[in-house]
Chains A and B, each alone.
Chain A
Amino acid sequence: MNHDQHSTFEPGMPPGFESLDRSSRLPSVLIVEDQQAIAELLLDVLNDSGFDAKRAPSAVEAAALARQMKADVVLLDVMMPDRNGWDVLKDLRADETTIDTPVIIVSAVYDRAGLHALPAGGPIRFAAKPFDIADLVATVTELTS
């Protein structure tokens, strides 16, 4: 049996992150958020709104996962304990697979330190916390259509 012929599983991917044929799958969103409750909320809302949303287990793994799952949009918190969101953004822009991936920076007013030196690449949007959940869904829709 040829396991390679129809398999969509890529070795090394965490469960749930298996990549599918881009032409037939739902738009994918990678959520990089340290607060469990916010991540759950975003997952619920985005998955119910027709997206394939996944949460990165940590900010450290975020850029690699965005590359592996070929994320259509990355939702990126800024203030995280293991890695700053601005550094994750630099990683995304430094990789040719994710350099053009749209990123939504989820940030409170007081932590917009990285705004002055945004790396070149795909579109970047900002969602200032607290934001309206419907506006966020509309922004993700716009970036994936």
Chain B
Amino acid sequence: MEDTILSLPDNGPIAFDLIDVSVIAVPNIAFLLRTQAARIVANWALRVATLPAFRAMPELALDDVQRHIPEVLDMALIAIATSDPTMDPGPLERATDLARSHGRDRLLDDFTIGDVMAEFSALRREIWSAIWRVVTETPSSIQFLQELSVRVGETFDAISTAAAEAWVDAYAVGAID
């Protein structure tokens, strides 16, 4: 088994092993990913920093790059872990509310809607990178990964759409002025 040890702000030292997914459920993996939140957000920031929009603003502070992303990620992972989002829509609603705030603020930052989409695409990608750090793909894991893929997909589709709609709404009412 491979050990990965990481020390990052807020989380402290983290050690984890690759997981046998035949004995774990989606909610467990989602909560496990929350322990990697600092690493996911850090990698996300490093990824989006290479986007042209961010490279054009080298003076942008880390807080301004991240804005609502750490909170969006936290709520998204809770939403993914929730067994039935229709019975408990709270986490997803909170995540989409934060994504809307992010979309609106990005317009004020002079980012395009494409930049906003790229941010959420990068976050989704970093979540999958985190998943592959702890899950191995085996014949017995296919069903689990399919279920996880649906949860991640539905959650991030909702979040990305909310951010994009908020950007468009703000643009329509002239927030850019």
Collect the chain A residues with CB atoms within 8 Å of residue B62's CB.
36-37, 40-41, 44
If A48-B8, A133-B39 touch, does A37 touch B50 (CB 8 Å cutoff)? no
Partner of A37, one of B7, B8, B39, B64: B64
If A37-B61, A40-B61, A130-B47 touch, does A137 touch B42 (CB 8 Å cutoff)? no
Tell me if B46 counts as interface (CB < 8 A to partner A): yes
| A94-132 vs B, Cβ < 8 Å mask (1 yes, 0 no) | 000000000000001000000000000000000001111
Tell me if B65 counts as interface (CB < 8 A to partner A): yes
If A50-B7, A129-B50, A134-B4 touch, does A37 touch B43 (CB 8 Å cutoff)? no
**Which single residue of chain A is at the shortest CB-CB distance from B45?**
A41
Partner of B46, one of A48, A50, A133, A137: A133
**Which single residue of chain B is at the shortest CB-CB distance from A38?**
B49
**Contact across chains for A49 and B7 when beta carbons are under 8 A apart:** yes
Tell me if B59 counts as interface (CB < 8 A to partner A): yes
Collect the chain A residues with CB atoms within 8 Å of residue B5's CB.
134
| B17-49 vs A, Cβ < 8 Å mask (1 yes, 0 no) | 000000000000000000000010011011101
A-B pair count, CB < 8 Å, reads 68
Collect the chain B residues with CB atoms within 8 Å of residue A132's CB.
39, 43, 129
**Contact across chains for A37 and B65 when beta carbons are under 8 A apart:** yes
Partner of A38, one of B6, B45, B64, B129: B45
Collect the chain B residues with CB atoms within 8 Å of residue A130's CB.
43, 46-47, 49-50
Collect the chain A residues with CB atoms within 8 Å of residue B8's CB.
45, 48-49, 133-134
**Contact across chains for B42 and A35 when beta carbons are under 8 A apart:** no
Tell me if A72 counts as interface (CB < 8 A to partner B): no
| B154-167 vs A, Cβ < 8 Å mask (1 yes, 0 no) | 00000000000000
**Which single residue of chain A is at the shortest CB-CB distance from B42?**
A133
Tell me if A81 counts as interface (CB < 8 A to partner B): yes
Q: Determine how close the nearest CB of chain B comes to the CB of A109; give it in whole angstroms.
A: 10
Q: In the bound complex, what is the Cα–Cα distance between A38 and B59 (angstroms)?
A: 10
Collect the chain A residues with CB atoms within 8 Å of residue B46's CB.
38, 41, 129-131, 133
**Contact across chains for B60 and A36 when beta carbons are under 8 A apart:** yes
Q: List residues of B whose CB falls within 8 A of some A CB.
A: 4-9, 39, 42-43, 45-47, 49-50, 54-55, 58-62, 64-66, 129
Q: A37-B62, A81-B58 are in contact. List 8 more A-B contacts (CB 8 A).
A: A37-B60, A44-B9, A45-B9, A48-B7, A49-B7, A129-B46, A130-B47, A133-B46
19 A-B residue pairs with Cβ-Cβ distance under 8 Å, sorted by A, are A34-B58, A35-B55, A36-B61, A37-B64, A37-B65, A37-B66, A38-B45, A40-B61, A41-B45, A44-B9, A45-B42, A50-B7, A130-B46, A130-B47, A131-B46, A132-B39, A132-B129, A133-B8, A134-B6
